Amino acid sequence: MGKNVVDKVDDRVKINTLLVSVSDKSGLEEFILGLVELNPEIQILSTGGTHGKIKQILGGKAEHCLKQVSEYTGQPETQGGLVKTLDFKIYLGLLTETYNDAHQADLKRTDALAIDMVVVNLYPFSETIAQKDVTMEDARGNIDIGGPTMIRASAKNFIRVASVVDPVSYPDILDRLKEQNGSLSLEDRFELSKKAFEHTAVYDANIADFLAQQTPSQVHACYTSGE
């Protein structure tokens, strides 16, 4: 299989399909309502508590434009939300390129959607480890897997996808969408990509620093105290 080289992209990409999974739901109501106002035909994929929040925000409009990721992929969430978004259809939708015929054929073959924007922020790892008497299991349980993967995939594919990681950026993104008829430019997507990779880098560094401070005996004690 030859190396894939992209030589054609669209400067502006309209936000038709959106994937949302956030721990920090601040600003979400205004952002979602703004997106739907700009594009009443937008399709929103979401998970767990985020899906419930967006359903509440949209009211009667939810039936038309909101879908559970599990319904979209055909795979139910595993117990405790362990696996929700790690699915072929999701990453096909994030990584495909507009002018790649093979990618477009894969989308058609799997009945998948090209996802134009990802809105994700991560499990509160730093907040968790800052708590008094935090355990290794508390910390381990707040290491996000699906979130960073979605952020990295969408940020890598900035030639088509917008990766949104910070609620503070919602108003500016809405302003840009209004100015550009519901689309984001290549420059917009590239700037969001830089912020996204910085976000995951800091997140991973916090995890690495925490683990580096733990000793094997502390870890052993955490998981064998009941023996």
- Give one DSSP letter per residue of 1-51, joined into a string: -PPP------S-EE--EEEEEES--TTHHHHHHHHHHH-TT-EEEE-HHHH
Residue with tokens 């508590």: 49
In a domain, 39, yes or no: yes
In a domain, 1, yes or no: no
Q: What is the pTM of this model?
A: 0.88
Q: Which residues pair with 221 in a beta bridge?
A: none
Q: What percent of the chain has pLDDT over 70?
A: 93
pLDDT tens figures, 53-79: 999 999 999 999 999 998 998 776 665
pLDDT grade for 227, boundaries at 50, 70 and 90: very low
CB 147 within 8 A of CB 47: no
Residue 93 to residue 73: CA distance in whole angstroms:
11
**CATH code for the domain of 144:** 3.40.50.1380
pLDDT confidence of residue 100: 82
In a domain, 3, yes or no: no
In a domain, 85, yes or no: yes
For residue 194, the SS3 value is helix
pLDDT confidence of residue 134: 81
Closest CA to 139 of 85, 189, 210, 200: 210
- Mean pLDDT score, 28-33: 97
In a domain, 47, yes or no: yes
pLDDT confidence of residue 79: 53
pLDDT confidence of residue 67: 95
Q: Where are the beta strands (DSSP E) in 82-157?
A: 117-121
pLDDT grade for 83, boundaries at 50, 70 and 90: low
Q: Which two tokens stand for residue 71?
A: 């319904």
In a domain, 5, yes or no: no
Closest CA to 195 of 176, 212, 170, 224: 170
Query: Does the pLDDT value for residue 101 go beyond 60?
Result: yes
Instruction: Count helices and strands (H / E) in the chain.
Output: 12, 7
CB 128 within 8 A of CB 138: yes
pLDDT grade for 174, boundaries at 50, 70 and 90: very high
CA atoms within 13 A on the CB side of 167: 13
Residue 155 to residue 165: CA distance in whole angstroms:
10
- Mean pLDDT score, 197-216: 91
In a domain, 95, yes or no: yes
The number of distinct structural domains making up the chain is 1
In a domain, 40, yes or no: yes
Query: Does the pLDDT value for residue 51 go beyond 60?
Result: yes
Would you give the DSSP letter of residue 111? T
- Which structural domain range is residue 38 located in? 13-224
